[in-house]
Amino acid sequence: MASVLRQAARLASSRCLTQLSAASSTSRLGASSYNFSPSSRNASTSSTIKVQLDSNTGVAIMMFQNPPVNSMSLDFMTEFVIAWDKLELDKSCRGIILTSALPNVFSAGLDIMDMYGTTPEHRTAFWKALQELWLKVYGSGKIVVAAINGASPAGGCLMALSCDYRIMIDNPKYKIGINETKLGIVAPFWFKDCLENTVGYRMSEMSVQYGILYNSAEALKIGLVDQLVPEDKLISTATETMIKWFAIPDYARQISKAMVRKATMDKMLAGREADITNFVTFTNKDSIQKSLGMYMEMLKGRKAK
């Protein structure tokens, strides 16, 4: 319990004191096309991460803008963490909405080109950056809502699973899931843990083995996402949801969040070094490099057709 309280105290240090006016904020931030309110300011310093922070409401919208598919490259994840740290320190920010600035894709997951044909040193830095990103988002004291506006496979799904609430566009063409086995690779234990914590043991057992990508209705049915909305209501619903969460006193919510997530975070932290070694050793294998290469060819070939 003492360590939960310590973790919560750390999380609480990031909370902000913004008082929220729900009525005014929903009317101002209800735009689907990122129609930002006058009190919203651009808080971006990065080319691939766009941040719009409304200091009246305390809601920040963090948009991924890494064309063509928001793949999570080393550069992207480094920029993500810099932008994230800035928001964590900003007392006027109470909650963060994660979404994509690109059409049809939330995130294509890890950048395969960072794993394929790269040096062990590069892959070590790449995996460390992913661990860092996950620890920040999953362990955040802020309220984090995923506004999933397109495909969200593998690492993209992990990003969504690390949030407190997931809202997805109601469209069967958008798929989400932990599909790594379909690529001939294996998701690490903490991807699986996040999935299991969300959809339960049996569903994750099936899901990770088959590498299932669920369409939006299926994702809602198994609890992988919490809510479906029409495309033009995505950001307004995410903002309204955030405002409902703001009604809960931060300190109590943060202690509760830390308590629920502690075991998963501690497990990852304890296995962090081994997890890096596993990843680098695994991706050194000729068979895995071959699988990654074939998958990239398949993606490019599909496009050519």
Ligand X SMILES: CCCCC/C=C/C(=O)SCCNC(=O)CCNC(=O)[C@H](O)C(C)(C)COP(=O)(O)OP(=O)(O)OC[C@H]1O[C@@H](n2cnc3c(N)ncnc32)[C@H](O)[C@@H]1OP(=O)(O)O
Catalytic one of 56, 66, 149, 179: 179
Residue 203 DSSP code: H
Considering the candidates 102, 110, 158, 292, report the single residue annotated as catalytic: 110
Q: How far is the CB of 146 from ligand X (least distance, A)?
A: 16
To 5 degrees, how large is the angle CA 35–CA 90–CA 229?
Answer: 35
The nearest distance, CB 242 to ligand X, in angstroms, is 26
Token pair 């809960």: residue: 248
Is residue 269 annotated as part of the catalytic site, yes or no? no
Instruction: Show contacts of 269-273: CB within 8 Å, 24+ apart.
Output: 269/135, 271/189, 272/131
Round to whole Å and give the CA distance between 168 and 216: 7
Tell me the closest approach of the beta carbon of residue 106 to ligand X, in angstroms: 9
Q: Using the minimum distance from each CB to ligand X, give the nearer residue, 190 or 246.
A: 190
For the CB of residue 302, give the shortest distance to ligand X in the complex, in Å.
6
Residue 11 or 154 with smaller CB distance to ligand X: 154
- The amino acid at residue 305 is K
Binding site for ligand X (CB under 6 A): 68-69, 71, 104-105, 108-113, 115, 151, 153-155, 179-180, 183, 185-187, 279, 282-283, 296, 299-300, 303
Question: Between residues 89 and 113, which has the closer beta carbon with respect to ligand X?
Answer: 113
Q: Of the candidates 68, 305, 74, 288, which has an alpha carbon nearest to the alpha carbon of residue 183?
A: 288
The catalytic residue among 58, 141, 155, 156 is 155
3-state class (DSSP) for residue 21: coil
Q: Give the tokens for residue 285.
A: 């294998």
121 is catalytic: no
180 is catalytic: yes
Measured between its terminal Cα atoms, the distance across the chain in Å is 57
Q: What is the token pair recorded at 40? A: 């919203």
Q: Compare residues 87 and 268 and give the one whose CB is closer to ligand X.
A: 268
* Closest residue to ligand X: CB criterion: 109
Q: Where are the alpha helices (DSSP H) in the chain?
A: 2-12, 22-29, 74-89, 120-138, 155-161, 189-199, 201-210, 216-222, 234-246, 250-270, 272-284, 286-304
State which residue, 11 or 187, has the beta carbon closest to ligand X.
187
Q: How far is the CB of 90 from ligand X (least distance, A)?
A: 29
Among 53, 161, 180, 292, the active-site one is 180
Active site residues: 110, 155, 179-180
